Amino acid sequence: MNKMIIKIIVPFLLLTASFLLPVYHFTFDIPTLLTVVSLIFAILVGFFIATATTNYLRLQSLVVVEDSTLISIFNLTKIVQPSAISKMQEVIDRYAISALDFELIDYVRKTQKEFGDVLSTIDELSPQDEKGLELFGNIHDKRSSIVGTRQEISMVAKRVVTLLHWIVLIFLAVLLIFLLLALRDGHWLSSLITSVLSLATYLVLVLLYEVDSNIFLEELLAYENSQQIFQAIGTLKYFPHHALKNQRIKAPEEDYRVGVFKNYPHSLEKEIKIIHKNSN
């Protein structure tokens, strides 16, 4: 419902408002005031988008690094201590599942236990032959790497735009649209231009929100890229129920797992179901 309001209802209202609202004018100098407001709005939005985009691009790289490191740790375990494969598969699978259950901004903090199990399993490894001994240092390098990666993720995943910033930006956007509507002369062309500019102002804020809240990354990378972990360790793909419900991702054509929280956020207990591709 929220997605429909943001993507459809509000843009429709902005496009039609210029044609439906009566023409109004003021005695003060609207163009000068409009110039000042639009300049302040552009500076603030430009700053926040630039900062949020920088964090977004870095976070994108870090997510890929973390996923690839987990796969490397699993593959190295096969050589260092083949008898520990089952346990390593279990802890990596549990961690990857938990990481997908939460937003990028929260998952590092909320997956401490699962990640700790991965580290403990690595610490318990013991080389079983000469080749395993040669690669034993590599797996601990990967251990150190993923710890550092998670620490950086927890920093760059934070939102740049605070509530106070949003209040200022929304106020400026509303004022900007209000002043644009005051420039209409009743002709359909001026109304059309006003509608397009009003919609563009709104879409800029939507873009900032989606980049700053990591929605882009979750939709385009986090859910899909993490499936490579499950493929590498030999388990079914996993998707949280809310991601499928909100249509952030499409259900795969092959069998997959879905996790449903029983009483979130009061409880993190969830049920994992296997969805077969031929099931209704």
Identify the residue whose tokens are 């400026």. 172
Q: What is the DSSP track for 195-233?
A: HHHHHHHHHHHHHHHHHHTTHHHIIIIIHHHHHHHHHHH
Task: Report pLDDT for 280.
Answer: 47
Asked if 219 and 243 count as a contact pair (C-beta separation under 8 A), the reply is: no
Read off the pTM. 0.80
Task: Report pLDDT for 158.
Answer: 86
Q: In whole angstroms, give the CA distance from residue 111 to residue 113.
A: 6
Q: In whole angstroms, give the CA distance from residue 222 to residue 208.
A: 19
Closest CA to 89 of 209, 232, 245: 232
Closest CA to 146 of 215, 85, 94, 74: 74
User: Is residue 209 exposed (0-12), middle (13-18) or buried (19+ Cβ within 10 Å)?
Assistant: middle
Q: In whole angstroms, give the CA distance from residue 251 to residue 258.
A: 10
Q: Which residues pair with 256 in a beta bridge?
A: 237, 275
Q: In whole angstroms, give the CA distance from residue 159 to residue 248.
A: 20
Take residue 209 and report the two structure tokens written for it.
Answer: 């929100």
Q: In whole angstroms, give the CA distance from residue 273 to residue 201.
A: 43
Task: Report pLDDT for 146.
Answer: 95
Task: Report pLDDT for 3.
Answer: 66
In this structure, the chain runs to a length of: 280
Segments of the chain scoring below 70 in pLDDT: 1-4, 216-222, 247-248, 264-268, 278-280
Q: What phi and psi values does residue 254 have, to the nearest 5 degrees?
A: -90, 175
- Domain positions in the chain are 29-235, 237-280
Q: In whole angstroms, give the CA distance from residue 73 to residue 232.
A: 11
Residue pLDDT, tens place only, 119-171: 999 999 999 888 889 999 999 999 999 999 999 998 888 889 999 999 999 99
Residue pLDDT, tens place only, 34-55: 999 999 999 999 999 999 889 8
User: Is residue 59 exposed (0-12), middle (13-18) or buried (19+ Cβ within 10 Å)?
Assistant: buried
Task: Report pLDDT for 241.
Answer: 81
Residue 63, Ramachandran bin (φ over 0: left; ψ between -120 and 50: alpha; else beta)? alpha
